[in-house]
Amino acid sequence: MKQSGIKAVIFGDERLIVGDAEEDGSKPNYPKILLERLSNGRYLVALVSEQTRNGVDAVLWNSGLDPKLFDVIISHEDIGRSGSPSPYSYKLALDRLNDVRRQNGLERKWGVPQKYERYEANQAVVLVCSNREACAAVLAGMKVVAVLGRTDSREFPDSFNRSSVDNTVSSLADLVGKKVYQWLRRC
């Protein structure tokens, strides 16, 4: 029996989560708030990046984010080829999230063992900030949400075929709060 509903959130690029917080604390760190709420809501969270793992960790720490907020980080070393994002990178992220789920016993519900079923591609949503990321996520069979506030207008022109994007938000701040759960139910 196939499961339904969103179970995993994949950030398609570190550009989605950097630069939102002011160093003096005058602006909330929306990526951190969102990541904490997703984790508390029992969603599995991954980040896919074209950078090396050391580069990803440095970017995250410089943005006030602990890499441990992600269940899985896929970096250049994992993908093993240039030209990412690719459908392979998103499928690899979902495979590793399934491994984490199995290892941590997340197939239990209310303390009762459940039959383990792998999360399918249609149970993952990829947050993207470029056309390339959107195309790769669609080819991987995943749902796609474009974060328009993190893009250059050339990345998602008005003529962009939005039929491949399941939803759009203007920024990660739009997803913080109770909205995140409503938003995930709509995907």
What's the predicted TM-score (pTM) here? 0.82
Is 3 inside any structural domain? no
Is 20 inside any structural domain? yes
Return the pLDDT at 178.
57
Return the pLDDT at 83.
58
The answer to whether 142 and 124 have CB atoms below 8 angstroms apart is yes
Return the pLDDT at 84.
64
Return the pLDDT at 147.
83
Mean per-residue pLDDT pooled into runs of 10, the chain (187 residues): 69 75 64 84 87 90 89 89 78 93 66 71 89 88 83 51 72 72 67
Return the pLDDT at 20.
53
Return the pLDDT at 155.
54
Return the pLDDT at 87.
92
**What is the residue range of 77's domain?**
8-186
Is 89 inside any structural domain? yes
Is 170 inside any structural domain? yes
Is 75 inside any structural domain? yes
What's the number of domains the chain is made of? 1
Q: Rg of the Cα trace of the chain?
A: 16
Is 14 inside any structural domain? yes
The answer to whether 119 and 140 have CB atoms below 8 angstroms apart is no
**Which 3-state string (H, E, C) describes 47-82?**
EECCCCHHHHHHHHHHCCCCHHHCCEEECHHHHCCC
Is 1 inside any structural domain? no
Tell me the CATH number at 141: 3.40.50.1000
Return the pLDDT at 42.
76
- Matching residue, tokens 């240039």: 82
Return the pLDDT at 2.
43
Return the pLDDT at 105.
65
Query: What letter would DSSP give residue 128?
Result: E
Is 2 inside any structural domain? no
Q: Give the separation between CA 88 and CA 68, rounded to whole angstroms.
A: 23
